[in-house]
Every structure is written in C-alpha cells, then in structure tokens.
Amino acid sequence: MSSLNALEMRRLLAKGVVGQVADDQPVAIRLKAVNYTDVTSITVTAATDITVITGAGTTVYDFATYATIGELVDAINADGEFSAKVLDSLRSTLATNNVVGGVLSISSDGYYDVQALTSGTQALVYRLTYDRGTPTEKPIANHRVELKEIVYDITMGSGTGAVAVYQSTGNIETLLFQAVGVSGVATTINWAGGTGKISADDGSDLIIVVSDSVSVTGALTIAGYAI
C-alpha cells in the first residue's frame, strides 16, 4: 500500500470523539491490574498517599516521595503490579489534596480510576487520545488525534482564567494553544470558523485544560477525531 493510500485509509477509519467532564470527574490516573487478580483494595487518602493491597502485600505510594501525578504513575508502573496512565491531568500536577479520596471500585473494563479533585487542582482537564486505556492495551504510535472544538461553561473564582491545549508525547508536555478564559458564560473555541483543528503528532495526545488561580466549577466538553 502506498503512503498516500495508507493516509487515506487512516482518514476513512477516523472516529469522532466527544468527551465531557464536570467537577471531580477528570480521571487523573487510570490503573489496571496486570500481574494480580487478587486485589484486596486500593485506597486514596487525598492528603497523603495511595495504598494498594494485593495478594503480594501492601504497597504505599506516598505523596511526600512521589509528589506529582507523573511521578506517581512512573512509580506504579515500575513496580509491575499495575499498568498506570496519566489521563485527564498534566504530569506536573501535584498529588497532595488534588485527588479524590476514598476506596476505589473496579469498573466493568477492569479499571481503577483516581479522580482529580477540582477544588484542589482548580482546573477541568480532558485528554484527547486514541485509547483511554492503560499503556499495555493498544499501540498508538501510528495514530493521531485532532481537536476541533472546545466548549465550556465554567465559573472561575478570579473572574478570568485560562484555556490551554498541550501536546503530550511520552513524558513531555508542550503548550500548543492558550487563551484567556471566560467566566460563567457558555463559550465555544474553534479554529477557522470550525473548519480548522489542532493536530497532535503521531503517537501523541492532546490535553485540554481550563484553569483558574482561585477556583473553577462547571463543565468542559471537547470534540475531535482519533485517526
């Protein structure tokens, strides 16, 4: 198959993506057990740690040691019991008091989700990705995501915040777009009257962040494509 035909085939197989998050709904970390089925509990203590109890014993991921969401995920993956992914978060986000506390329940797909605490992060975040599963599930190197539109209706404590789009490639997050936020009004951002887009490099994700220096509350919706 020629490179032109391959590109056309990818375009034909593109799937539309619409994602929405509201207060305390972004998934900061997504976990899936890979070497153990006997998971007793996973408990998030928002101020201090994540405690994992399996048949192999108890492991505590202390926020004093692993200060950021990215460092937590790296530590969990290094231990090999779980596959972990930074999802609706920036790697640099501090963990302490920025995650929702409690005992995690397993989803029908086998995930344990550590949700972001909106009152702590002062942000609503959504990752546009080809696969929202954990890293072991699908190779994404030959896939691309495209952001077409951001819609948000968020009250910002300072009266004005920021809307930003980052490209996430491995452990590197690069700012691609930034605009001043609008508080308390349903707002749509698109490009070239809706015909434009922000495209990530192959194998990369886009992270959409609406944040404020004081507080945020409301909902964020994004629309795009995964190719």
**Average pLDDT for residues 25-29, to the nearest whole number?**
98
What is the per-residue pLDDT across 127-143, written as a single tens digit (0 to 9) for each?
999 989 887 666 667 78
Please tell me the predicted confidence (pLDDT) of residue 173: 97
How much is the mean pLDDT over the chain? 92
Using the predicted structure, report yes or no on whether residue 36 has a pLDDT greater than 80.
no
**Average pLDDT for residues 146-158, to the nearest whole number?**
97
Q: pTM of this prediction? A: 0.92
DSSP conformation letters of 130-147: S--S-TTS---TT--EEE
CATH number at residue 143: 2.60.120.340
Using the predicted structure, report yes or no on whether residue 125 has a pLDDT greater than 60.
yes
In angstroms, how far is the first alpha carbon of the chain from the final one? 18
Please tell me the predicted confidence (pLDDT) of residue 8: 55
Please tell me the predicted confidence (pLDDT) of residue 137: 66
Q: Domain span at residue 35?
A: 27-115
Domain total in the chain? 2
What is the per-residue pLDDT across 81-108, written as a single tens digit (0 to 9) for each?
899 999 999 999 999 999 999 999 999 9
Q: Do 131 and 206 sit in the same domain of this protein?
A: yes
Please tell me the predicted confidence (pLDDT) of residue 22: 98
Please tell me the predicted confidence (pLDDT) of residue 37: 67
Q: Do 157 and 111 sit in the same domain of this protein?
A: no
Q: Do 151 and 199 sit in the same domain of this protein?
A: yes
DSSP conformation letters of the chain: --HHHHHHHHHHT-EEEEEEEETT-SEEEEEEESS-S-EEEEEEETTTEEEEEETTEEEEEETTTS-BHHHHHHHHHHHSSEEEEE-SS-TTSB-TTSB--EEPPBPTTSEEEEEB-HHHH-EEEEEE-S--S-TTS---TT--EEEEEEEEEEEETTS--EEEEEEEETTEEEEEEEEE--SSS-EEEESGGGT--EEPPTT-EEEEEEE-SS-EEEEEEEEEEE-
Q: Do 166 and 79 sit in the same domain of this protein?
A: no
Please tell me the predicted confidence (pLDDT) of residue 142: 77
